[in-house]
Amino acid sequence: MTDSNQQNSNSIVLKTHDLTKIYLMGEVEVPALKSVSLEFIEHELTVLLGTSGSGKSTLLNIIGGLDTATSGDFFYRNENLTNADENTLTEYRRKTVGFVFQFYNLIPSLTALENVELVTDIALNPLMPKDALALVGLSERQHHFPSQLSGGEQQRVAIARAIAKQPELLLCDEPTGALDFNTGKVVLEVIERINKELGATTVLITHNASISQMADRVVKLRSGEVIEKTHNTTKISPSELTW
């Protein structure tokens, strides 16, 4: 079913309007995003789907406060962050955004629990770090260092770290990209559960079309443009996904 403007009573958390990003590679201008206008609804899970070079990562970077657009606007709630300075973006990431990386990016010198504490120590209203690890099913492994954990476990720690501050926004960059099929599914289950239980508005980017079946909304990108927006009325549980 195509997007039918039937956005429910939930409010808009993120909004982009004509968002354009042009990278200057030497003397060549490379457009990465072309007039992208999107809305992300509170508590929903959105999948940004696209191949390499589609602009999905650029979009994630901008809504994550890591990069700024060349033109267009980007709103968080009603705050226009398009031209925000670095300090404002840092505070935005600190208070609002939880990040999950493709390669987990855990701090190797900290245990699972401490990797979570690193974020809860600076958050306003965090979960107890142990509770965050319990949410991803890793209570048993809390005192292990990253080098002692499997890839899937590391990614779950990364998720626990991202959600421990109870962020309004959870941004996941190819969270299963470095994982095998089964482990990937476990991680997706965790993400789904977090989205449900904590209600964090979640944006997940992937090149894997199957994963879009677990989303509330799917945005397809190609060459920097939105080519399709879909609203899934029925979602599939990650455990039923196949690829």
**C-alpha closest to that of 232 among 46, 79, 49:** 46
Nearer to other proteins, 41 or 81 (CB): 81
> Binding mask 80-99 vs other proteins (x if CB under 8 A, - otherwise)?
-------x--xx-xxx-x-x
Label the pairing between strands 201-206 and 169-173: parallel
Position among 20, 35, 105, 232 found at the interface with other proteins (CB under 8 A)? 105
Q: Name residue, tokens 């958050």.
A: 123
Return the residues of window 161-200 that contact other proteins according to CB under 8 A: 161-162, 165, 173, 178
Nearer to other proteins, 65 or 238 (CB): 65
Interaction between residue 127 and other proteins (CB under 8 A): no
Instruction: Judge whether 138 and 178 are in contact, CB under 8 Å.
Output: no
Nearer to other proteins, 77 or 196 (CB): 77
Report d(CA 156, CA 175) in Å as an integer: 10
The values of phi and psi at residue 198, to 5°, are -95, -15
- Minimum separation from the CB atom of position 200 to other proteins (A): 15
Residue 78 Ramachandran class (φ > 0 left, ψ -120 to 50 alpha, else beta): alpha
Greatest alpha-carbon span in the chain: 53
Using DSSP's 3-state secondary structure scheme, residue 44 falls into: coil
Report d(CA 211, CA 171) in Å as an integer: 15
Nearer to other proteins, 83 or 148 (CB): 148
Nearer to other proteins, 13 or 149 (CB): 149
Interaction between residue 13 and other proteins (CB under 8 A): no
Interface residues with other proteins (CB under 8 A) are 57, 60-61, 64, 66-67, 87, 90-91, 93-95, 97, 99, 101-103, 105, 107-111, 114, 117-119, 121-122, 145-148, 161-162, 165, 173, 178
